[in-house]
Structure formats: C-alpha cells, structure tokens
Chains A and B, each alone.
Chain A
Amino acid sequence: MSLTAEPGRLGAAAPAARAGAVEKTEAPPIELATQEGRNKLIGMWLFIAAESVLFASFFAVYLALRHSTMGGPTGKELFDLKLVFLATALLLSSSFTSVMAVLNMRRLQAGAMKAWLLATWLLGASFLALEAYEFNHYVHMGHTFTSSAFGTAFYSLVGFHGAHVTFGLLWLFALLVRNLRREVTPYIAPKVYAFSLYWHFVDLVWVFIFSVVYLMGKVA
C-alpha cells in the first residue's frame, strides 16, 4: 500500500509496460501511475464483464416473461414515460458529472473533483428517490414481486439495477468522507477512477432498461 515504489516496477519502465504505449515517452495518467492502481482497474474491468453477464440473464428473463401478467396490470398500463424520462436525465447527468470529476482528478484539482463527485451523489440519490416512488406507486396498482412472472422479472431486473445505484451511492459517500481532506495522489486516483467506471456501467445498464423495459413496454 505504500507510495514509495520499488525501482524498475513503477519507474520509467511503467509507462512502456502498458500495451500500445511503447512509442510514447509520456508518463501515464495519475490513476495508472502505480502497479496497485493498474491492477485495481484491470480487476474493475473484469468485474464489469462479469456483471454484464449477470444483467444479461435478468434482461433475457424479463423479455421472456413480460407478457405473463396473470391478469394483473401490464407494462403499458403501468409505466409513466414522464417519470422515466426524468429518471434517465438524472442518471445521464450524474454520468457526466462523474466524468468531469475524473477530468479534474487528472489535473490534480482536488476541490473541483470533490465538488463534481458531490453533484454525482446528489443526482444519483434523486434518481433513487424517483425509483422508490415509482415502485411504491406500482405496488398500490397491484404490481408486486409475487403478483405475476412479469412482476418478478420486472422487480428483479429494475430492482437489481436500483441496488447497484444504492451500492454506488454508499461507495461514493465513503470515498468522499475518507478523502475529504486529502489532495489528489496516485493512491487516491485509482479509487476515484474505479468508482467512475462502476458508475458509467450502471448508467450503461440503465440505457438498456429504459429502452427495453419502459419504451418497448409502451410500444409492444
């Protein structure tokens, strides 16, 4: 965990060790400066690949079972496009604010980075509040986890995404509190970058949820 590097591993050899960077003499961005940081981010990408398989299964099950409503309300009757559009705009904006945080992190601007991360947290929390309101509304309309196969598939997929947003908010909260008084260092940077990768992935999944679940549910 120490920042003082072993010579040869994190010194001049480090940038050249990155694939495709052989001809460049420039040092890498701060999140890739240490071996620990590089390993962390490779691990994050492996995690994201595994997560996409998990979400794929939920999507496939939802697509297979979405018409099995057992006489309960259908997606067409339930979904409110205005609410979903607002939720989408919130989550897209939070993706933008988290990329701006990374941009400022790479400039070593700790204050701006934290401000953008705080904005990300607030937008994510608003998204989650909207989703809680939406689920509550559906339950009152008779659409619950156990009411039909459609209900189970819907809450599994959308709820699992909501759980990811919740976890991301807890993660970001811990990240902000822990690093409140810290400057941007090669120790902090991979942590912030790993969070931003996770957050963009959660947004990427939402793009397919609003297209496949909500919009297609209204059409088909």
Chain B
Amino acid sequence: MAAEPMFSPSGERETKKERSLHTVAFLASIVLTILAFGAVVYAIEGGASAGFVVAFLVGLAVVQAAFQAYIWMHLKDEGHAVPQLFFYVGVYVTVVIVIGILLMSWWTVA
C-alpha cells in the first residue's frame, strides 16, 4: 500500500463556520479602524486629550493585531504550539526594543 500524504479537506460545515468567523473578523477590524480614525478627528477638533487618544489607539491596534494573528494566521488553531512560541518571543523582544529605545531617547534628548 502506497503511503499517500494524509490530509482531510474541510467539509461544508467547517467551511461555513470558518467563513463566517473570517467575515466577522474582517467587519470588526474595519469598525476598529473607523473608531481609531474617528478618535483622532475628534481629538483634533479638541474634544479629547492627546494622552487618552494615544492610549486608545494603542489598545485598538493590539486588538486588531490579535485578530490578524489568532484568526487569520490561525494561531488559535491546534498544533500551533511552536508558532505561538516564536510569535510570543517576537512580541516580547519587540516590546523590549521599543520601550528600551524610547527610555534612552527621553533621558538623553530632553
């Protein structure tokens, strides 16, 4: 018996579920984008403080990034332990670099 590579094509039910999940994630990310731009327009018109809007923007960006990573890059799916490890190490080093260089520049430039 020839050992063909084993895989199972997605069935109708699975496809339907995935499709609606992706559609919802897409619509949600469009809504989040509109919220982000709206907050900035509101801030320019003087309705909100810059500090609050910046924190709001960072929060929205993190949620959107999570949509991309967990849903669209399938990081939430089973069998993704090693990709998750790589991803988290990447995120960790990213945060350290950004905060580290910002702290350096605040202390030396100002």
Contact = CB atoms under 8 A, between A and B. Distances in A.
The answer to whether A and B come from one shared complex is yes
Interface of A: 3-8, 10-12, 14-15, 18-21, 24, 26-30, 32-34, 41-42, 45-46, 48-53, 55-57, 59-61, 63-65, 81, 85, 88-89, 92-93, 95-96, 99-100, 103, 106-108, 186, 196-197, 200-201, 203-204, 207-208, 210-212, 215-216, 218-220
Nearest to A50: B90
A18 B50 contact: no
A26 B10 CA distance: 11
Contacts of A210: 33, 36
Nearest to B105: A64
Given A92-B33, A100-B22, A53 B94 contact: yes
Given A59-B98, A218-B40, A219-B44, A89 B3 contact: no
Contacts of A100: 19, 22
B105 to A, nearest CB: 4
A197 B73 contact: yes
Contacts of B37: 81, 85, 215
Contacts of A93: 26
B97 A57 contact: yes
Contact of B101 (A61, A96, A201): A61
12 contacts: A11-B6, A27-B7, A28-B79, A29-B10, A33-B5, A33-B7, A49-B89, A81-B37, A85-B37, A95-B68, A196-B73, A207-B65
B26 A96 contact: yes
A55 B78 contact: no
Given A45-B82, A208-B61, A64 B9 contact: no
Given A48-B90, A49-B89, 16 more contacts: A5-B5, A10-B3, A21-B79, A29-B7, A30-B9, A45-B82, A52-B90, A56-B95, A60-B98, A63-B98, A85-B33, A103-B18, A103-B22, A216-B54, A219-B43, A220-B54
Task: Tell me the interface secondary structure of chain B in the complex.
Answer: helix
Contacts of A212: 57-58, 61
A212 B36 CA distance: 11
> Which 10 residue pairs across A and B have the least CB separation, nearest first?
A49-B90, A60-B101, A64-B105, A33-B7, A56-B94, A52-B90, A18-B79, A211-B61, A33-B5, A45-B83
Interface residues of B, number: 60
Contact of A33 (B6, B101, B104): B6
Nearest to B32: A207
Nearest to A29: B7
B6 A42 contact: no
Contacts of B53: 219
Nearest to A21: B79
Contacts of B100: 60
Nearest to B8: A27
A182 to B, nearest CB: 16
A106 B9 contact: yes
B87 A48 contact: yes
Contacts of A26: 8
Nearest to A211: B61
